[in-house]
Amino acid sequence: MILENSTDQISIVVHGGAWGIPDEEKEGCLAGVRTACQIGYDILKSPTGTAIEAAQLAIESMELDPIFECARGSSLNASGYLELDALIADGKFNIGAVAGIRNHLHPIRIARGVRDKTSHILLTGQGANEFANLIGEKEVPNSELVVGRGKQMVEKMKNNGNADNLNGLRSDFDNVKLDSFSKIKGQPAVDFPSDTVGVVCRDRHGNVAVALSTGGVPQKLAGRVGDTPLWGAGGYADGHFAAASTGYGEDLIKAVMAKSVVDRLQQCEPSQKSAQECALKQVEHFGSKFNGKGGIISIDSQGNPGIAFNTPRMAFAYRVEGDPRGCVAGIEQEDIPKY
């Protein structure tokens, strides 16, 4: 059982995106979130482990895993290149975020650099990429990033004979022209990969952190920024509470999704039941008011996890000190914790 009265209880919750995950990708997604969860938990268990380090390293593991739609494994935008976003923050409003990162394997490290090395919160586009080089983050060719699902998209275009859209294709996939959304105004289909992975966690001292990374919606218009790097929409933390959202970014922005669930948590006495109810109520509100599709993970002031989504599936994993089950992972609606 979770130790609800503990003041030094560590915990972590991870998600790998809320969308219509196909059957053949279920095990890969579950393995990826389990790995990220365990990496973060091991940091939290160490004598010097901090929430911010645990959140960052958990995200880094998912940025390397092509099963997820972030960094390595991202999909090209409508202009034929990658634009990556990330955010990392703690409960004391120390925030760093980037948008429109190109040719970098770990956008979360660049966001951490913004947080730790500047007085800014969000850097975008060319400036964000210049900052990445300034702090020593090495560029990588797109061939290291366009793998898995992203590479399959390029190959599918080749096989479909879209030669006009593949003019200028080089071995590193630069400047590939893709068909944009068939419906520019409106949501992409629910079977489009979600554009975010996220982590919330709590360390031994009660500090919390939130971190997210994304490759964005496949075939998005160049320059599009979703919820991930936007404080309050993609991620939010206040004091001992934290939340991270996932799904269709435009609707998550409208709902100020992450802050809204934290607001709910702050109105409740901390418990397993209330943490889960707050997440479920927020997702229900998100669907009814905004017709939004997505999910949320959160922790309350005692590290109790909240997990909810209204898409067909969302890969998630969590571990709370004192829970004999260790790392618990799920992907279906019926896997959501019930108290």
Q: Choosing from 35, 48, 124, 196, which is the catalytic residue?
A: 196
Q: Is 225 labelled as part of a ligand binding site?
A: yes
Taken as a whole, the chain contains a residue count of: 339
Rounded to whole angstroms, how far apart are CA atoms 130 and 48? 32
- 16 annotated to a ligand binding site: no
CB 302 within 8 Å of CB 6: yes
Cα torsion 130, 16, 241, 92 to 10°: value is -10
Query: Do the annotations mark residue 199 as ligand-binding?
Result: no
**In angstroms, rounded to a whole number, what is the distance separating the alpha carbons of residues 275 and 303?**
9
Give just the sign of the alpha carbon dihedral 17, 316, 121, 301. positive
* 249 labeled binding residue: yes
Please give the Cα distance from 245 to 214 (Å, whole number): 12
Q: Is 226 annotated as a binding residue?
A: yes
Helix (H) or strand (E) holding 199: strand 197-202
DSSP letter string over 280-331? HHHHHHHHHHH---EEEEEE-TT--EEEEE-SSEEEEEEEETT-TT-SEEE-
Alpha-carbon separation of residue 337 from 135, 212, 264, 293, 329 (angstroms) = 41, 22, 18, 20, 10
Question: Is-catalytic flag, 196?
Answer: yes
Q: What is the dihedral of CA 252, 253, 259, 262, to 10 degrees?
A: -10
**Residues forming the active site:** 196
Binding positions for substrate are 224-227, 246-249
Residue ranges for the known binding site are: 224-227, 246-249
